[in-house]
Structure 1
Amino acid sequence: MNFRRTKIVATIGPASQDEQMLTKLVKAGINVARLNFSHGTHESHQELYNRLRKVSAENGAFLTILQDLCGPKIRLGTIKNGSVMEVGQTCIFTAEEVEGDAHLMHVSYPRLAEEVRPGNMILLDDGS
């Protein structure tokens, strides 16, 4: 067995999920298969996990599987069609379940007001 200290981590995405590609990756020497849990379903992750274990066993490799979990997401509620925010505009975020517009929006995190300070930047749409 090779016990090198440096580990090779490969993120397994749509282009590398089939058994043939996973075999190539294992033979190339990956030690850790990283699965991005921001995408996919429980079933698809279970299938990929089983495939990784199979390929690992067939090639006599010890493969660690890293499950990269996304943190909690704060979601906006329903927003009226046609609502457009302008750069620099003031908007109120509320825990009340309201139909939002460009000036008032429901957020799914009731403690937001306790944790955000004046001057903090709030990014929408995952910051894009």
Structure 2
Amino acid sequence: MSVEIPHPQRATKIVATLGDVSSTPDMLGKLVTAGVNVFRLNFSHGTREEQGARIDAIRALEAKTGTPSCILADLQGPKFRVGKVADETIVKNGDRITFDLKTDMGNASIVGLPHAEIFKAMYPGARLLMDDGKLVFKVVSVDTQSFDAEVVVGGPLKSRKGVNLPDIIL
């Protein structure tokens, strides 16, 4: 019995991570033409609706071209993250910023940190690192639902970036 395989199978996968620019139907088509057969969606960024639209676009391209594609869903792990932050927010060395348990939309002076366990363990002098250590803060004062910190190493403050607490045991 012979089975006809409509598309050549290959063991090697070529993965492309999708973002805002690479998710257009035109760009998806170019990526498939270039050999991409796995599309990675980073669920740490974007909304559920945005990711759903990307999946729909990939499946529509499959139907149109007859070329199968895999979808790799990169799910955020058990990581502390800040909340949403307004676009193009920059913090500079020496600035003061408040980390708050209940803030929905952050900016250069306040950012949401929706993890109550952090506030229970936080103390003045502790360090907070964000975005894989690109931003560094030193805690100045602590309250039950917020704490103030000084920016030690500044830069772009972005939504949903990871938080590390090297001086805190949780």
TM range (shorter): 0.5 to 0.7
The CA distance in 2 between the partners of 1:63 and 1:101, in whole Å, is: 47
Does the aligned pair in 2 maintain the 1:26–1:59 contact within 8 Å? Answer: no
TM-score (norm 1): 0.62
Structure having the higher strand fraction is: 2
Distance 1:72 1:27, change over 3 A: same
* 1:78 equivalent in alignment to 2:100: yes
Question: Residues 2-41 of structure 1: matches in 2 within 5 Å?
Answer: 2-41=8-47
Question: Residues 1-128 of structure 1: matches in 2 within 5 Å?
Answer: 1-74=7-80, 77-78=99-100, 90-91=125-126, 97-102=144-149, 121-122=166-167
> How far 1:36 sits from its partner (Å)?
1.1
The CA distance in 2 between the partners of 1:60 and 1:14, in whole Å, is: 24
Distance 1:30 1:14, change over 3 A: same
Matched residue type, 1:74: F
Distance 1:51 1:98, change over 3 A: closer
Number of residues of Structure 1 aligned to a counterpart in Structure 2: 97
TM-score (norm 2): 0.48
Unaligned runs of 5+ in 2: 1-6, 83-98, 102-108, 110-123, 128-138, 150-164
Where 1:43 maps in the other structure, the secondary structure is: helix
Distance 1:39 1:90, change over 3 A: same
Where 2:73 maps in the other structure, the secondary structure is: strand
Distance 1:24 1:73, change over 3 A: same
Identical aligned residues as a percent: 42
Where 1:101 maps in the other structure, the secondary structure is: strand
Structure having the higher helix fraction is: 1
Matched residue type, 1:97: T
> How far 1:39 sits from its partner (Å)?
1.1
The CA distance in 2 between the partners of 1:54 and 1:74, in whole Å, is: 35
Question: What's the RMSD between the two structures over aligned residues?
Answer: 3.1
